Amino acid sequence: MRIELTEYQVSLTGLHARNEKTIQATQDWERSRINEAALKACFDKDCDSLVELQRRVGAEYVTDGQLTLAWQDLFRPISSGFEGLEPGPMVRWFNTNTFFYTPIVKGAISSDGKVLSRAIEKRFVNHGSALKIILPDPLTFSELAEDRFYGSKEKLLFAYTDAIRGELRTLSRVGVKYVQFSAPSLVYRLKQKPFSRAGLKQLGEALRNALKGVSLRSGYYPFFGDASPYLPELLDIIPTDDVGFDLTQTDDSSLSATSKGVIAGIVDSRTTYLEDVASLASRVEGVADRTGTKTLTLAPSADLRFIPRVSADEKLELLGRLRSRVRRGRDAHGPSAPARRGAK
């Protein structure tokens, strides 16, 4: 039996909050009080400080926060930059007080493969940390887009992932190291039944299509809902390296053993209330035990743009403290009985 200790990492899982200076700058820019260069300088400083904070808390993969105008919503660079798509009516983003422009599918979806690389802050590539990009997963795209062209969810799923594949290859070439597919539509079902196993398999195929020939580490992160109806199949069907769970919605007891990395959305991104580190650590250790994962990424439950920047940063710092604590616990005691890491 091979025994390995869980490696605890920290990562953001969504768009981050802009800081107050940037907020003011965007409003001043809209009212023509400052020019585009001044606005860009604000965004740059804001991104710098966020990347610096992620480094300080020890994030292995850092994001640029996707703070800029290119990322007004998670779909925007795609709905504005891909052929065949355009932003349509404004619609509420799940159960938040934030809104997005519905991607309207008007023709065959394609891109020049450089849309997303133009939307990220490439200066962070290879500057001591690995850059991560967060994108809508194919299911969320197909569920929220208004399809006026393909006439079938399946065709839409694969058209989207065909276009995304070219983008991911470019991102990989420019030095991005990680892609996370954000997948709220998978678990935010409310009155609808969970997707069928066949639907999940199709999703798995679509993701495989997106990742074909792409040399990025990948994660699949469903949030805003309970993933338990999909467990344990989800872990086998989704082809990404990591799979995550919104643990503000999913009960820990539903998790099961996996050889994948696990993203644990354990810090509530919807409130400034700072959770007790000891309680969180106890839950994290429980998750590590249940899943037997080698890599457990401690994360906010969703985007931290739902609370003001100061609080969002405090949540990130909390994740850093949490990681230190569980690492100390692990190093002091080793794997708890039953010995679990890679026990298969």
Partner 1 sequence: MKAFPTQEIGSLPKFSWRTKPFRQMALTDDDLEAARRWGDLLQVDGRNDLHRLLSKRYAFTDEEKKRIVDFSLLYAIRMCETAGRGLAKEPGLDLVWSGEQARTEMYETPVSNIAGFEFVGRVRSFDNKYWRMASIRSAPKYKENYHLDELLFTKENAERKVKVPVTDAITIMAWSDNNYYTGKWADKAGLQPSKRSFNARREFTLELAKIIRRVIRELIEQGVEEVQIDIPAATQYQSEDDIKLVAESFNETTKGLDATFSVHSCFPPSVGYGILFPHLLEMKKCERFSLEYGNRDTFERGLDPKSRVGFEDLKLFKEYGYKRQLGVGVIHIHTDTLPSVEVVRDRVLYSAKVTDLPPENLYVNPDCGLRTRRPEIAQKMLDLVVGGAELARRKSG
Taken in order 231, 265, 5, 280, the sign of the CA dihedral is negative
Q: Where are the beta strands (DSSP E) in 153-254?
A: 178-182, 217-221, 242-246
**Contact range with partner 1 by CB under 8 A, out of 16-24, 53-61, 212-220, 232-240:** 16-24
Is 119 strand, coil or helix?
helix
Member of 3, 21, 30, 201 binding partner 1 (CB under 8 A): 30
Q: How far apart are CA 179 and CA 266, in angstroms?
A: 20
Token pair, residue 255, equals 């998790």
Decide if residue 241 touches partner 1 (CB under 8 A): no
Pairing of strands 83-92, 99-110: antiparallel
Measured at the CA of 172, the angle between CA 247 and CA 237, to 5 degrees, comes to 40
Least spacing, CB of residue 105 vs partner 1, in Å: 14
List binders of partner 1 among 275-334 (CB under 8 A): 275-276, 279, 305-311
Phi and psi (nearest 5°) for 266? -105, -20
Taking CB under 8 A as the criterion, the residue among 180, 249, 269, 291 binding partner 1 is 249
Nearest to residue 18, comparing CAs of 64, 78, 87, 67? 67
Whether 134 and 13 have beta carbons less than 8 Å apart is answered as: yes
User: Is position 73 an interface residue for partner 1 (rule: CB under 8 A)?
Assistant: yes
Nearer to partner 1, 61 or 195 (CB): 195
18 near partner 1, rule: CB under 8 A: yes
From 74, 78, 115, 144, residue interacting with partner 1 (rule: CB under 8 A) = 144
Among 33, 55, 99, 123, binds partner 1 (CB under 8 A): 99
Among 80, 96, 110, 324, binds partner 1 (CB under 8 A): 96
Q: Which of 72, 209 has the CB closer to partner 1?
A: 72
CB of 35 to partner 1, least distance (A): 15
Choices 47-55, 78-86, 171-179, 245-253; region in contact with partner 1 by CB under 8 A: 245-253
Strand order in the sheet with 83-92: 83-92, 99-110, 146-147
Q: Please tell me whether residue 154 binds partner 1 under the rule CB under 8 A.
A: no
Q: Are 263 and 229 in contact (CB under 8 A)?
A: no
Among 11, 12, 14, 17, binds partner 1 (CB under 8 A): 17
Q: Which of 46, 64, 167, 268 binds partner 1 (CB under 8 A)?
A: 268
Q: Does 35 bind partner 1 (CB under 8 A)?
A: no
Residue of the chain from 38, 41, 91, 343 that contacts partner 1 (CB under 8 A): 91
Q: Residue 199: which of 185, 178, 180 has the closest Cα?
A: 185
In angstroms, the CA 304 to CA 313 distance is: 8
Smallest gap from residue 286 Cβ to partner 1 (A): 13
Give CA–CA dist 295/145, Å, rounded.
Answer: 33
Contact 65, 47 (CB under 8 A): yes
Binding site for partner 1 (CB under 8 A): 17-18, 20, 23, 26-27, 29-30, 69, 72-73, 89-100, 102, 143-144, 190-191, 226, 247-251, 268, 270-273, 275-276, 279, 305-311
